[in-house]
Each structure stands twice: as C-alpha cells, then as structure tokens.
Amino acid sequence: MLEDNWDDWGVFNTKYYAVYYDWLAKRHDLGYLKIGCPLDYLQDKRPLLDTKSNRLPGFCYSLGQHAEYYEKIMSLSPELRESILTSLNDIVFNPQLYFRNKNSEAMTDSLQRYVSTATIEGHFSRILAGARQLSEFIFSYVNHENEKISIEFSVDQNSVLPSNIHAIIGSNGVGKSTILRDISDLVTGRQRDSSRQVINHSGGTFANVVAMSFGSFEKFETKPIITLDKNNDVTYSYIGSKKVMYLEDKPVTIGKTEQDFFNEFSDSLKACRYEPKKSLLKDCLEHLCYDPLLAELPFDHLLDAAEDLQAAAEVFERLSSGHKIVILSVFKLVEVIEEKTLLLIDEPETHLHPPLLSALMRLISALLKSCNGVAIVATHSPVVLQETPRRCVTVLRRTGDAIRARRPDNETFGENVSVLTHSAFHLELDRTGYVKVINRLVARYRSFDRVMDRTGGELGSEAVAILIALSDD
C-alpha cells in the first residue's frame, strides 16, 4: 500500500493506494482505500501499521473509496479476493466490523467523509455479492384531500428506454410544485400529514433527497445538507437560487448573489476532485461537450487544481447565465448524490435553451442510473417530454377544485415537439399565444395555402405543424 497525503480535517491521514503484484510480478492497481483505527492507535495522524505484516492489525479496518476499487478486486480469483479483503479488514466484506466502528471518529470524519452508509450497504455490497442489479423503485404519491390524487412512479432498470426520470406536466397553478414539495417533506420525514402519503410498493427506499430549482417562486426547503429524520436516516440537499439569512434571529429567504453562486461552484469543485466523484463529474461533463463553449473550457485542469480560485473564477465568468446554472447544477449534484437518491427538479427549462435542457436530462438519467436513483421533474417543456416515455409522464388537469392525474394519450419519447406541444399542452395553448392566432386564421381562411399566403410565410415549424393539423386541406 502506498501512502497518500490527503488530510481529513487536520486529524486523519488515512488514505492509501492499493497495489497488487501477481506471481509474474505484474502490477495491478486496485485504487484508493482508507484505513481507520481508534485515536489511541494514531501516530502522526496515521494508523499504526506493521510494515512487515501482510495484514492489518485487529484494531484497524478499511473501506474502499469508490466502486472501481471493489470491481477490480472482484476481477481477481475468488481465493485471492477473499484473502485481500480479509487481510485489509474490509468493512463491506465484513459488515460486523462496520457496525462495530460506524460511530467512531475515524469512520465518520474520514473513511465515510465521501462514502455514504447507503453506498456501503447498497452499491459496494452488491459488487462484492457479484450482483449489479439496481432497485426497481415503485412508489406512489397520494393526496386524499378533496378529490383523491394518486400518481405512480415506476422504474424498470431493465428497460432499454430511460425510466428513472418521471415528468409531471400541467398548467400554472395546478399544483406541480406543491406535489414535489410534498414528496420531499414526506420522504425526509419533515411532514407527517395523514392526508398525504408516499407509499412504497417495492423494496427500494430512498436514503437521500435532492431538491433542485432556480425559479423565482420555488417552494423547496432551502436548508443545507442535514439529516432530517434520525429514524430513517434520509439526508436532504437543496440546489437553487435561494438562501436563508437570519435577521434578528429570524430566518429570511433571499436570492443568492453572483458571489454566492461562485462560492458554491468552487466548493463543489473541491469536493469533486477525488474519486469517485471526479470520475462521475467527468462522465457528466461529456454529455455537455456538444456545446462549443462548454467543450473548450478546462474543467479537467480545474479538477486537478481545485485550489486555484483564480482559474475557477475565470472559467465561471466566461459562462452565460444559462451555462452557469447548468454547470453549477451538475457540479453540485455530483457532490451531493449518493446511492438511492430521489432528485426533485422544478421547471428546469426556466433558464435553459432546448439543446442544453435535453443534454441535462440525458446527463441526469445516466448519473442516476450509476447511483441507483430516481428523478421527478415538474415541467412545462415538451423537450423534457421528448426524453421521457409516456409511462413516466403524468398530466395534471384542474376542474374547479378537483385535480385529475392521467398519462398522455400518445407516446412521448422522441415525439415531434409540435405534436407534444399540441397534445400535452393544448388546453392552455389553444386559448393563448400563437395557437390562438392560428386558430383565428384557419377559421377565417380555412385553407393552408391561403393562411400561408396571408402571413407571407412568416410561420415557424411548430406553427406550420399546427396549421396543417387544423386546416381543411
């Protein structure tokens, strides 16, 4: 094992790089692990190890710091992998060691600084069990007030189409954002209201809730990363444009400044510079390389020199407001995401043009699959529907005080934006905007050619598609 100079809180130097040499003296790099022990057995912030022994002393225990570490160990012969894990007192391989030491300072402040309990018991344990099957989450949101609303969310990890992003659509004021807030409060334990429930229909439960919104009227709790309910150990993170300040000891929610956004960006940059977050972030950024500006930015350099605030500031300043939001969202999401994360996103289209929004949805789907998670998106955008199968879309309609939830009439994944706009949002569009103008023109001139002639051909592709659908010829 090779010592690494990484320091946790000025107290622990527990990080090592594991290397194995086979009988042909061929080197096999296994990756990073951390070794913990009681404070009494620390010397110069490192565990007291016997360099002549081929195994850790009984008072020590270890934890790999990323999934690839365990995948590489699993690629070895059964006898060798068991020998390595036993010799290193690995806490994933031997859960009793974990439960015996889970509340120790070395565990909480160092070994598990970037690895959650859910990841240990879920992702890492699945790897050592030889199984990479992800949870097939099936759960429902039920509101018993007035007319009963029930929305089911189902994730089929074997589906060739993405099913880990679910969309809720509907007109303004129908209650999309309120439903997201309810789900957040119910899963984290902040709300215990018998009239509202999140019902789990499968074995998959959530360990982490992340709420994301950059809208002006968002309803999410803005508290930082905390454990809200000690009984279910669900953590909560907020990514967005609001923050809480205390004026005369009273909490007041205000908008973040440009400096606040940069501070969050630089903090996330530092948090993601080590594995496994670093690899996750690089994979995410590849989804954004279609954009010429983002493709040329030196994110790799920033990850390798995360302390260079001047370089980070120069990169951040080059970004447009939309680019800043998507980059901050991605960096922050990679920082806080863990095994079994429920991601709640409120109207992501607010500051993003369609190609960037589409790339963000694909990026999030891939990230959630790697971390065994699910997203629910409240949206007005047909671009989000284009990336989402019909079975993962819920349409909300309000009639008086009653709200109805249903699936769209037609398939949505990969459908034409004009078709989606008309089929999913036609109740709103038919009464407003350019659709209302086209309706009037069709009622007056009837013919497609006559409308095109009268408008001088000044219609966009979506307007033309709606004109074709409405005209007699």
Residue 237 exposed, middle or buried by CB count within 10 Å (0-12, 13-18, 19+): buried
173: alpha, beta or left? (left if phi > 0; alpha if psi -120 to 50): left
CB of 89 closer than 8 Å to CB of 57:
no
Inter-CA distances, 179 with 49, 143, 170, 182, 186, Å: 53, 9, 12, 5, 10
Helical residues (DSSP H) of 62-167, grouped into ranges: 67-74, 78-87, 95-101, 105-106, 117-119, 125-128
Q: Find the mean pLDDT for residues 255-280.
A: 87
- The more confident residue out of 375 and 22 is 375
DSSP H helices in 161-308: 176-188, 258-271, 277-286, 292-296, 299-304
C-alpha to C-alpha distances, 243 to 70, 183, 224, 264, nearest whole angstrom: 38, 21, 9, 12
pLDDT at res. 133: 58
E strand or H helix at 49 = none
Reported pTM: 0.70
Whole-angstrom distance, CA of residue 221 vs CA of residue 239: 10
For residue 35, name the pLDDT band (cuts at 50, 70, 90): very high
Helix (H) or strand (E) holding 252: strand 250-255
Question: Highest mean pLDDT: which of 8-12, 209-213, 425-429?
Answer: 209-213
Counting Cα atoms < 13 Å in the Cβ hemisphere of 88 gives 27
Q: How confident is the model at residue 230 (pLDDT cuts 50, 70, 90)?
A: very low
Residues of 88-124 as b/e, b for ≥16 C-beta within 10 angstroms?
Answer: bbbbbbeeebbeebeebbbbeebbbbbbbebbbbbbb
CA torsion 22-26-28-33 (nearest 10°) is 70
SS (H, E, C) 294-315: HHHCCHHHHHHCCCCHHHHHHH
Helices (H), 102-223: 105-106, 117-119, 125-128, 176-188
Q: What is the pLDDT of residues 63-98, one digit of tens each?
A: 999 989 999 999 898 889 999 999 999 999 999 999
CATH number corresponding to 137-416: 3.40.50
Does residue 192 have a pLDDT over 90? no
Q: Cis link prior to 382 (omega < 30° from 0)?
A: no
Residue 427 is predicted with a pLDDT of: 47
Contact 401, 190 (CB under 8 A): no
The residue ranges of every structural domain in the chain are 2-129, 137-416, 432-470
Q: What is the mean pLDDT of residues 11-15?
A: 92
Q: Which of 121-130, 136-145, 220-229, 443-452 has the lowest mean pLDDT?
A: 220-229
Token pair recorded at residue 85: 């894990």
Write down the pLDDT at residue 225: 44
Nearest by Cα to 153 from 167, 139, 165: 139
Q: Is the pLDDT score of 183 beyond 90? A: yes
Give residue-wise pLDDT tens across range 397-454.
876 677 889 998 889 999 887 788 766 665 455 555 787 888 889 888 888 888 988 9
* Mean pLDDT for all residues in the chain: 85
Q: What is the pLDDT of residue 275?
A: 72
Give the range among 143-147, 177-181, 241-245, 380-384 with minimum mean pLDDT: 143-147
In terms of Cβ atoms closer than 10 Å to its own Cβ (0-12, 13-18, 19+), residue 412 is: buried
- What pLDDT is recorded for position 253? 82
Encode pLDDT of 117-134 as tens digits: 888 988 898 888 876 557
In this prediction, residue 216 carries a pLDDT of: 58
User: Quick check: 390 and 191 in contact, CB under 8 A?
Assistant: no
Residue with tokens 């690995």: 90
Q: What is the mean pLDDT of residues 170-174?
A: 81
